[in-house]
Structure 1
Amino acid sequence: MKTLCLVISVFLMTAFNSQESNKLSGGWQITTNKGLSGQWIMAEKHFAVTFYKGNDFKYTYGGSWKLTNNNQIEITYEFHTDDKEKVGQKEKFDYTLKRKKLEIGDLTWKRTDENKPGELAGAWLITGRERNGEMNTMTPGARKTMKILSGTYFQWIAYNSETGDFMGTGGGDYTTKNGKYTEIIKFFSRDNSRVGAELAFNYELKNEEWHHSRKSSKGDPIYEIWSDRVDLGI
């Protein structure tokens, strides 16, 4: 009987955490009292937070997340531009969810979407890139290039989850319509002159992989394949 009660208790807690996770997933934004703009993308198991001011990128961090049995958010850092030593570390935070507002510490985030309408919502790793007319398979390891999307926000991040080295990031808003994926850049760590630019790509989902293509500014073809991190188990 005790075993049955324990199984039921675990099942109910798992179901509750799953429902609560669905409530937290999506896009969030904030403007701090220091005038920083913040963007937070929460996919099924992964997240990315970025702060910027005007055209100037400030910092970003992210990794994986889950809810604990104490109803806290537990995050594991895979990258952190302000504190490399946090990579691989875990932190837990109390939170309060009130309709479309998420309070964590002294910050209140406002929901922008619930992973809709973008059919590309999720966390993706690059697993293929065409070079000289041939598709080269890429196996994600410690060195990762991730794209994480809510229903309206996107961010790409290049980093090493073992060493904490960070290579770059960019992000902002995106749309998917009639086979076109369009990015509107709001921050770019390498070159803030790119802020405000719009980049349009052809996209298609094939066998649960995201095929992504366009011509470069020089007219060279760009063709990439991105795979869902949940499907990859990474």
Structure 2
Amino acid sequence: MKKILTIPLLFLAGMIYAQTIEGAWKMTHKDGKEVTDKEYIKIYQDGYFAFGAKEIGSNKFLGAGGGEFSINGNTYQETLDFFTFDPEKVGTTTSYNLDQKATRIIISANVDGKTLVEIWEKIGDRKDALTANWVFTGRKADGEIRRSTPGARRTVKILSGGRFQWIAFNSETKEFMGTGGGTYTAENGKYTENITFFSRDDSRVGASLSFDFEVINGEWHHSGMSSTGNPIYEVWSKYKEAYKANK
């Protein structure tokens, strides 16, 4: 009987652990040194993660990475869908030791023959109507919504803990097209982004963009004016439902 009960209990523990890690995190230490000249923000939601890094002061974009993650006890695994620091690692899975205490996690592993130790502090766990990992699946043009099926080339947008990050990439060719992120609010049908990093144009950091939003049949309908002044109407679907079904 004990053996029969062990499997579901471990599975349940892994699910609870994965849920408690959901939200937004900031790296405070790397390999024993305090991180003061760079900012790394990492978002976890719905079994997916993404991070963006920039220089503090200049806002120069440094890089980004992300993909699926899993937790089983103290073992934490990441499978990369995109990784600007070393694109050849896209598609690989790395196992780490995870030590979580309240609002701090310590991730450690031996990577490429070197010991890696990262300390992350939680900076947000707020949830709202848009808290999810999304993938772009449609756009309205001439009054009609035109659908697209996310494949190797896709655009993902992850929102959790009051932070957002979008990423355009091709996991098959390992090509990275761009990313941006920051803080956001989603209240009373109004979605507002405050940009804190942007891979394509550092000068956009500090800008705020407001849009209308509505969740219809589980999909995020996002409309308003783009940063260039053009009208947009986008449809975003839950990543697990829209992408994995097409793998």
| Same fold flag (TM > 0.5) | yes
CA shift for structure 1 position 216: 3.1
| Aligned-partner residue type, residue 62 of structure 1 | G
1:6 paired residue number: 3
Q: Is the 8 A contact 1:181 1:201 kept in 2?
A: yes
1:152 paired residue number: 162
Q: Percent identical across equivalent pairs?
A: 41
Distance 1:218 1:80, change over 3 A: closer
Query: Greater CA deviation, 19-28 or 100-109?
Result: 100-109
- Cα separation, 1, equivalents of 2:198 and 2:185: 18
* Structure 1 residue runs of 4 or more that deviate by more than 4 Å after TM superposition: none
Q: Is the 8 A contact 2:53 2:62 kept in 1?
A: yes
| Aligned-partner residue type, residue 123 of structure 2 | T
CA shift for structure 1 position 220: 3.2
What CA deviation, in whole Å up to 9, does each residue of 1:149-183 have, x standing for no partner? 11200000000011110000000100111111100
CA shift for structure 1 position 121: 1.3
Query: Greater CA deviation, 212-221 or 202-211?
Result: 212-221
What CA deviation, in whole Å up to 9, does each residue of 1:72-100 have, x standing for no partner? 11110000001111111000111111111
| Aligned-partner residue type, residue 111 of structure 1 | K
Q: Is the 8 A contact 2:135 2:243 kept in 1?
A: no
- Cα separation, 1, equivalents of 2:131 and 2:70: 18
Query: Greater CA deviation, 182-191 or 17-26?
Result: 17-26
Alignment partner for residue 70 of structure 2, among 66, 69, 85? 66
Aligned length: 229
2:213 paired residue number: 203
1:57 paired residue number: 61
Q: Is the 8 A contact 1:121 1:149 kept in 2?
A: yes
Distance 1:24 1:217, change over 3 A: closer
**3-state SS of paired residue (2:223):** strand
Q: Is the 8 A contact 2:45 2:158 kept in 1?
A: yes
Question: Does residue 47 in structure 1 map to residue 49 in structure 2?
Answer: yes
CA shift for structure 1 position 49: 1.5
Query: Greater CA deviation, 182-191 or 95-104?
Result: 95-104
1:187 paired residue number: 197
What CA deviation, in whole Å up to 9, does each residue of 1:176-218 have, x standing for no partner? 1111110000000000110000000100000000000002356
1:98 paired residue number: 101
Q: Is the 8 A contact 1:174 1:184 kept in 2?
A: yes
1:118 paired residue number: 128
1:229 paired residue number: 239
TM-score (norm 1): 0.93
Alignment partner for residue 172 of structure 1, among 182, 187, 191? 182
Distance 1:232 1:7, change over 3 A: farther
Structure 2 gaps of 5+ residues are 29-33, 109-116
CA shift for structure 1 position 224: 0.3
1:82 paired residue number: 85
1:28 paired residue number: 25
- Cα separation, 1, equivalents of 2:94 and 2:81: 12
- Cα separation, 2, equivalents of 1:83 and 1:134: 40
Q: Is the 8 A contact 1:128 1:137 kept in 2?
A: yes
Structure 1 gaps of 5+ residues are none
